[in-house]
Amino acid sequence: MSYLSHPERATGRELQSLDLFTHESMHVRGELNEALTECEAVQRNYRAARLLGVPDKAARENALRYYNINYQQRGKIGGMQAAYYSDQCAPGKAMDEHLSDSTWATP
Ligand SMILES: [Zn+2]
């Protein structure tokens, strides 16, 4: 709710909370593998924010920020965080679902 109240200045924690919402939604769909689930989530964080009413520009910028910063840190931290990361989760790589409204799609 704090993210939705000021999406233009979302904190890292608020971006994490949006991703948690998207990530768990992917589990509800039936995905069990954590790396695939998280990659499905990062590609849909833009869509999820729009569905929750976040303005388009902020939704896209924040979704990209989560992918470029929060997500990439996972791969560097390693350990348990590494289970949620794959270098194949990137535009044009194996986990790219080529969604028309992907976080990665050019507006
Ligand atoms: Zn999970």
Q: How far is the CA of 36 from the centre of ligand 1 (A)?
A: 9
Q: How far is the CA of 42 from the centre of ligand 1 (A)?
A: 12
Q: How far is the CA of 16 from the centre of ligand 1 (A)?
A: 13
What residue ranges do the domains of the chain occupy? 2-84
Encode pLDDT of 52-87 as tens digits: 999 999 999 999 999 999 999 988 888 888 899 999
- Percent of the chain whose pLDDT exceeds 90: 83
DSSP at 105: S
Distance of CA 90 to the CA centre of its chain: 12
Residues bordering ligand 1, an ion, CB closer than 5 Å: 34, 37
Q: What is the pTM of this model?
A: 0.94
**Distances from the Cα of 104 to the Cα of 8, 62, 89, angstroms:** 19, 12, 11
Q: How far is the CA of 38 from the centre of ligand 1 (A)?
A: 7
Band (107; pLDDT cuts 50, 70, 90)? low
